[in-house]
A = this chain, B = another copy of it.
Amino acid sequence: MNKFSLCPRYEIAFSILGKKWTGLIIRCLLDGPKRFSDLSELIPHLSAKVLADRMKELEQLKLVNRTVYPEIPVKIEYSLTEQGRDLEQTLHAVQAWAEKWITVDCK
């Protein structure tokens, strides 16, 4: 066996995608910018606390932009950066795998 550890990049990449809810959030944003409440509705088992945590992380990682529109009431939109959108192939691959292998009623 070779004894070299994996490239740190992969560990970093998997430490992002390997967090609960991250993949689903980014997948939702692939459809276009979304508000906090949109994401909450689209992913109903994701709590406001964890959604807030994830959006902060994704913003810091530069995968997501947070834009404030000073309307009344204030409107905040989350959208993918180029780096975030570039996960599209990855997430589509997950989707294809899920459709092939996971058997559940799916409307």
Q: Which of A66-101 contact B (CB under 8 A)?
A: 83, 86-87, 89-90, 93-101
Bound complex: CA of A17 vs CA of B1, how far in Å?
24
Q: Which of A1-40 contact B (CB under 8 A)?
A: 1, 3-15, 17-24, 27-28, 34, 38
Residues of B within 8 A of A94 (CB): 10, 13-14, 17, 90
CB <8 Å contact, B97 and A6? no
The yes or no answer to A49 lying at the interface (CB within 8 A) is no
Residues of B within 8 A of A17 (CB): 17-18, 23, 94
Residues of A at under 8 Å CB distance from B? 1, 3-15, 17-24, 27-28, 34, 38, 41-45, 83, 86-87, 89-90, 93-107
